[in-house]
Amino acid sequence: MATETVENYIKAIYVLCRESPSGEAGVVRLAHEVGVTKGTATSMIKRLAKLKLVKAPRYSGVTLTAIGKRVALDVLRRHRIIETFLVSTLNLDWSDVHEEAERLEHALSPRTLDRLDEFLGRPSTDPHGDPIPSASGKVLELRGKALSAYVKGTKVEIVRILDQDRSFLKFVAQSGLKPGVRVTIDAVSPQGDSITLQVKRGQSVTLSQNAAAKILARLQ
Amino acid sequence: MATETVENYIKAIYVLCRESPSGEAGVVRLAHEVGVTKGTATSMIKRLAKLKLVKAPRYSGVTLTAIGKRVALDVLRRHRIIETFLVSTLNLDWSDVHEEAERLEHALSPRTLDRLDEFLGRPSTDPHGDPIPSASGKVLELRGKALSAYVKGTKVEIVRILDQDRSFLKFVAQSGLKPGVRVTIDAVSPQGDSITLQVKRGQSVTLSQNAAAKILARLQ
DNA sequence: TTTATAAGTTTGACTACTCAAACTTATTTG
DNA sequence: CAAATAAGTTTGAGTAGTCAAACTTATAAA
């Protein structure tokens, strides 16, 4: 069984690979993600390579092996089911549930996880709209484009928030922008550096290009 | 904040002090309880003493300080609330929920714990009948005597099972002897080495003296 | 009351993780 | 292309936890 620390590194590598265009995770960003120095990350990567969980050519980016990917999806499944529970059952705040799940995800047996999943009605996404991998390790990524990709006048439904940062989520939540909510693209600034949305009648929000890129939505 | 390992030692010391007539925990039994060698236990006790959590005169038993007791009750509260949740909400088996709670109890923030407690309706005991310490660190020990202390013909209600051992709990559960159940003392063997109970009409169970001592009950 | 044994302690070594700082290799950019 | 800088690696040391085995002290039995 992978230790708690190992699981955290693997999960972080998975997320970073997803984000980067090259499909590789850099050591510095990885170190930042798990909250250690780059030297520590390097030595951990060596151990992960020895465990056949990652591929890491010297002085280059890290990628997960098939086994590593399996571990990542396993952790992600636990994480997202727990987040769903914390929000939908315990009514904890959507935007600050991440850290809690981060700790709980390592302490849950497969049996208990399955019971929890059953109790929640086998949800397919978590409160951020992130897909919950199946027990067998399959993920159904939601089709949806960044808000910044739509033109003025379009009516869209928010499907997913890509950032896990607390303050960003807090802002998003307070603006009423959670998955399932329908909004209209009200204005796109000529330079493309900001976007204004109408959330409800008379309530509009302006987002930076950067922020809008982290919110996925689909038509209708 | 106390580390996970420290919390485990403190909890074990609390439990052992409760059990022993001298009110002290021995190093060997403590080591056995947390699953380490006695040498390891000794060195950990030194650290606990440095942290002002225990009093440990050389070559003698260990006792908790006031701070240590507070920590123990805190962990115990988390443990018992989690056990209650696992049994009453997720319908996990009463007799094998202990190990799971053992892992989860270290990963729960005070806020989440309180929400969970609220969700469960602020229970006063866990599924074994063990009292749940209050958030402020008070425990209301149930009055109740061991089954072995009652005489033939007495009608009693089971209030608490004192052992956490899986196989013992499995046996107890299969005999239908959980807290809240009413039984009649059917027979007490002359030598006092076994006791027979009537659980329901036509269903009776025989327990060793030893087993009966670990089941608490009260009149009526 | 001596002595066997159980309880408790110490020592030296190991794993898993961490950091700071010096170092090497890639990548930018003037 | 050369120099600056960013990314990645290595080294040496430290903390938390662990074990096995030698050791000391207390307790129970003969």
| Residue A164 predicted with pLDDT over 80 | no
Does any domain span residue B96? no
3-state DSSP call for residue B31? helix
CB contact under 8 A, B119 and A86: no
Q: Which of A14, A40, A64 is the C-terminal boundary of a domain?
A: A64
3-state DSSP call for residue A34? helix
Does any domain span residue B211? yes
Mean pLDDT of chain A: 93
Q: In whole angstroms, what is the distance from residue B128 CA to residue B172 CA?
A: 11
Looking at chain B, the whole-number percentage of residues with pLDDT higher than 70 is: 100
Amino acid B209: pLDDT: 85
Mutate to test the interface with A, among B1, B83, B92, B120 (most CBs of A within 10 A): B92
Does any domain span residue B127? no
Name which of B125, B127, B122, B84 is nearest B105 in CA terms: B84
Q: In whole angstroms, what is the distance from residue A84 CA to residue B45 CA?
A: 40
> B132: which residues sit within 8 A by CB, 6+ positions away?
B76, B77, B80, B81, B84, B123, B124, B125, B126
| Residue A192 predicted with pLDDT over 70 | no
Higher pLDDT, A191 or B160: B160
Amino acid B86: pLDDT: 98
Structure tokens given for B38: 């006695």
Q: In whole angstroms, what is the distance from residue A16 CA to residue A32 CA?
A: 11
3-state DSSP call for residue B4? helix
Check which CATH number belongs to the domain holding B203 and give it: 2.30.30.90
Measured to protein CB atoms, the chain C nucleotides within 7 Å are: 6-12, 16-22, 25-26
Amino acid A116: pLDDT: 98
Amino acid B141: pLDDT: 84
Range of the domain at B10: 4-64
Number of domains in chain A: 2
**C6 C1': nearest CA residue:** B28
Low pLDDT (below 50) residues in chain B: none
| Residue A142 predicted with pLDDT over 80 | no
Contacts of B119 in chain A (CB under 8 A): 89-90
Does any domain span residue A103? no
Residue type, B95: S
Q: Give, in Å, how far the C1' of D12 lies from the CA of B152.
A: 72
Amino acid B12: pLDDT: 98
Q: What does the pLDDT look like over A104-127, one tens digit per residue? A: 999 999 999 999 999 999 999 999
Does any domain span residue A139? no
Amino acid A71: pLDDT: 97
